[in-house]
Amino acid sequence: MLLPEPQREGKIFLEEAIRKRKSRRRFSVRSLTAAQLSQLIWAAKKIPSAGALYPLELYAVIGKDCVEGADAGVYRCEIGRITLHKPGDLRLELASACLHQMFIAEAPVSFVIAAEYERTTRRYGERGIRYVLMEVGHAGQNIYLQCEALGLGTVAIGAFYDDEVSSVLNLPKMHRPLYVMPVGYAREL
């Protein structure tokens, strides 16, 4: 599915996004637009990468009626395009795989950032592992800040069973999940 072109200029200053950023763990049922999804993918991908080797793979777990124009499923994300990888609304299964952090199932979309370490370790050896972990931090922070700029919320999730997340998403063996980031309109408590 093609997505609208991401915007290269935003409505709020970077300082405001940094100031407002916090982890949000309550989401309303409101769906996201294809433009919002596109913007978030762009932000997640527009990051520095050691040796420009780009070891990260971005997946989106999209619920039923949760993103304009997209069926429920797991999608592979590129700038301007998502490709269905596994059909079905898998948000509950994903939340269970994340130590039952059930707010994940409330979010219309969860990004799963996975890494193919070998792309970086092939050149940098053992040291490549730390480079990959640094890069996922860049991607995660960009998603946090882009969410704030779009009036959305997210939280970085590191607590999950790797094998379960991999199996829920049907990830290829070499794509190891590092971060899960549920995204939606934040609902204040």
- The interface with ligand FMN within residues 77-106 (CB under 6 A) comprises 101
Residue 170 binding ligand FMN, by CB under 6 A: no
Residue 49 binding ligand FMN, by CB under 6 A: no
- Position among 157, 165, 169, 181 found at the interface with ligand FMN (CB under 6 A): 157
Q: Which residues are within 8 A (CB) of 94 and not within 5 positions of it... i.e. 6 or more apart?
A: 61, 104, 105, 110, 112, 165, 168, 169, 180
Span interacting with ligand FMN, options 35-43, 44-52, 86-94, 156-164, rule CB under 6 A = 156-164
Query: Using CA atoms, how far apart are residues 139 and 154, in angstroms rounded to an integer?
Result: 13
To the nearest whole angstrom, how small is the minimum distance from the Cβ of residue 188 to ligand FMN?
A: 13
A 10 A CB-CB count for 185 gives 19
State which residue has the least CB distance to ligand FMN: 158
**Which of 56, 97, 72, 66 has its CA nearest to residue 183?**
66
Binding mask 12-41 for ligand FMN (x = CB under 6 A): ----------xx-x----------------
Query: Of the two residues 22 and 130, which places its CB atom closer to ligand FMN in the complex?
Result: 22
To the nearest whole angstrom, how small is the minimum distance from the Cβ of residue 47 to ligand FMN?
A: 16
| φ and ψ at residue 149, rounded to 5 degrees | -65, -25
For ligand FMN, how many residues bind (rule: CB under 6 A)? 9
| φ and ψ at residue 81, rounded to 5 degrees | -160, 140
Output the CA–CA distances (angstroms, integers) from residue 68 to 35, 96, 122, in the order listed.
Answer: 9, 25, 39
A 10 A CB-CB count for 119 gives 19
To the nearest whole angstrom, how small is the minimum distance from the Cβ of residue 65 to ligand FMN?
A: 25
Span interacting with ligand FMN, options 8-16, 48-56, 153-161, 164-172, rule CB under 6 A = 153-161
Would you say 34 and 69 are in contact if contact means Cβ atoms under 8 Å apart? Answer: yes
- In the complex, the residues that contact ligand FMN under the rule CB under 6 A are 22-23, 25, 101, 155-159
